[in-house]
Structure 1
Amino acid sequence: MEETKASSFVELRRQQAGAFSRAQALAHGISDKVLLGRRRARQLQQVHTGVYADFTGPLPWETRMWAAWLACGAGAVLTGTTALRRYGVAVESRDERIHVAVPHSRRVEPKSGVVVTRHRRLSSLVQPSRDPATVRLEVALLVIAAGEADVSRQAAVLFDACRQRRTMPARLLTELESLPELPGRRILRRILSEAAEGVQSFLEQVYLRRVEQAHGLPRARRQVRVEDDGKVSYRDSEYSPYEVIVELDGQLGHADAASRWRDMTRDNAAATSGKVTLRFGYQLVSDPCGAAVQVIAALRFRGWTDTPHPCSPTCPVTPTR
């Protein structure tokens, strides 16, 4: 019986990256006296009150994550960037702290390296069958986005997750409705509506808002799937009736020679089929009106007859041909 308990405790610690709680130790027949002796012999270390690691030295992230969750007690749930890391979603963050949510009715003492937040209806936000308990992916993304002070960073968090195919705008919009207390819901809803339309980056958002919508351009199709010699690619925006394509080159994915070659190959393939490609980079942010002038010229050359409009008194866009 004792051997069975010992082996099961070894397996438990393995599953928890070496972390374990005092309660778990007692349940496996390990007394406080034994724990104290092993601490003095430097066979384990205390991470938080009542939580230990079965080794000494620096603690890996996985061990710190389990230790924080165990230390926060009943109903604790991983959230924020910690949850995203558990889901394998890449986020631009230097925050190495462990983020844990607890039911609103509970208060948890501050713990080193741990961010604890309290939530109402927390149990309804948990992803079933995950150990340790973790909020759903969409909840974690929305919480992180809502915590960003800059709207462009909010958009980046949500666009990146959708572009990585980790979730879909429709799922995020549905989850947003289940978080009535989340700050900035109106802005998040607009970002997700744009994502549902095919916007996948901050630059694409700038193009949609400040070039296309601000100047009365026709609505483009977005993320248009193209297959050439068995290779699939996606065009950022395409005005199909006029055979005009707009590609938006962000800082990532277009800086190396291989990426530039792929872009040129794609543009040339479009040209051979009678389509014209306009390509814009981050100058779009500082001069959206200049980009609009170029797109309007291409559309007019290809037969667009509707009337654009200037976005301001100093805008160079003219409503006449």
Structure 2
Amino acid sequence: MRRGPDEAWRALALRQEGLLSRRQLSELGVDRWAVRSQVRAERWTLRTPMVVSTTTGPLSRAQVRWLGVLHAGPEALVGDLSAAEVHGLERWHRDDVTIVVPQGLELDEDVEGVVFRRTRRALGPMSASSHLPVMRLEPAVLHFADYQHSRRTAQGVLAAVVQQQLTTPERLHEWVRRMRPLRWAGLLRTALDEIEGGARSVSELDVARLCREHGLTPPHRQVRRRGSDGRLRYTDCEWDLPGGGVLVLEIDGAFHMHAENWEDDIARERSLVSTDRIVVRCTARELREEAYRVAHDLLRLGVLRTGTGSCP
């Protein structure tokens, strides 16, 4: 039995976090006069000229996503980091929701809390199988990475989605191929090769770049070590030294600067040191801005050259 307009819009609103477009309502037999009546009675709220909500009050994050795609029309997708957030990416939050739209789409006004990004790419093949119009994870993060001014941000988001086990370097490599041309294609491929080799963070990617540029042997990454306290730990980078020893490099980010973490790091370092294992530390800032100094010290401590790169 066919549902009436009232039952139909309620079912659709339930699937769309309470948001409905005027186009959808018209297709369901709800005309503009009925919409006006609901808004005047304060049962619905006009969020944009094209979209109403069947709830009042501030919109949730999920509702803002629906607001963006419904306002922009049927071809629009939640994209970039907003799509990655839907797929489970953590610690890369941005306040605004990004909606990716076709290049030629005309939008008459801004929507609070929403950023529209235009693309000449076909959006259909990048769409995930979901009731929410959202990009697949891989093209979403690659699209975001490709317009970044910061190389570290572009590399870092790829490391994050792999480290959080949301995708694999192989799948990302395939989407780099499918999305060509990408401005940062070479950089992204190199980063994915390093991630496939074990790099789990942007700082570890910086170490890989340091080794390439200064001709140092690449390190072993995330080596399992049992400290003197019996606890199992993972070291950031390790090199086998010519004399049979091991050099460990631990990389300190902002997290390590807090007093309680600093003390934990001291205890961790002490537990890993042995007669044949040296532990040294550097900061993430040094890797970004003073890589030559770090390279010089690694060479001085016995890390071998590969025969390529420049001397620090």
* Count of aligned positions: 304
Structure 1 residues 210-229: aligned runs within 5 Å: 210=210, 212-226=211-225
Q: Determine the structure 2 residue equivalent to 1:164.
A: 164
Runs of 5+ unmatched residues, structure 2: none
Structure 1 pair 260–40 and aligned structure 2 pair: CA distance change class (3 A):
same
Whether 1:107 and 2:109 are equivalent positions in the alignment is no
Whether 1:137 and 2:137 are equivalent positions in the alignment is yes
- d(CA) in 1 for partners of 2:7 and 2:239? 65
Amino acid at match of 2:189: R
Q: Determine the structure 1 residue equivalent to 2:253.
A: 250
Q: Determine the structure 2 residue equivalent to 1:319.
A: none
Runs of 5+ unmatched residues, structure 1: 316-321
- d(CA) in 2 for partners of 1:189 and 1:18? 41
The answer on whether the counterparts of 2:5 and 2:30 sit within 8 Å (CA) in structure 1 is no
- d(CA) in 2 for partners of 1:26 and 1:33? 11
SS in 2 for 1:35: helix
TM-score (norm 1): 0.80
Deviations 1:264-319 (A, max 9, x none): 3432332247321111113344433332333233327xxx6x6878835xx4xxxx
The answer on whether the counterparts of 1:50 and 1:71 sit within 8 Å (CA) in structure 2 is yes
TM-score (norm 2): 0.82
- d(CA) in 2 for partners of 1:79 and 1:181? 18
- d(CA) in 2 for partners of 1:297 and 1:226? 24
Amino acid at match of 1:266: R
Q: Which moved more, 1:273-282 or 1:88-97?
A: 88-97
Whether 1:288 and 2:298 are equivalent positions in the alignment is no
- d(CA) in 1 for partners of 2:231 and 2:5? 56
Q: CA deviation at 1:92?
A: 4.3
Deviations 1:37-62 (A, max 9, x none): 11222221222333211133433332
The answer on whether the counterparts of 2:247 and 2:277 sit within 8 Å (CA) in structure 1 is yes
Q: Determine the structure 1 residue equivalent to 2:237.
A: 237
Amino acid at match of 1:221: H
Q: Determine the structure 1 residue equivalent to 2:270.
A: 268
SS in 2 for 1:311: coil
- d(CA) in 1 for partners of 2:269 and 2:122? 51
Amino acid at match of 1:277: V
Structure 1 pair 112–208 and aligned structure 2 pair: CA distance change class (3 A):
same
Structure 1 pair 21–247 and aligned structure 2 pair: CA distance change class (3 A):
same
* Percent of paired sites with the same residue: 24
Higher relative CO (Cα under 8 Å, sequence separation at least 6) belongs to 2
Structure 1 pair 79–286 and aligned structure 2 pair: CA distance change class (3 A):
closer
- d(CA) in 2 for partners of 1:183 and 1:221? 30
Q: Determine the structure 1 residue equivalent to 2:60.
A: 60
Amino acid at match of 1:143: H
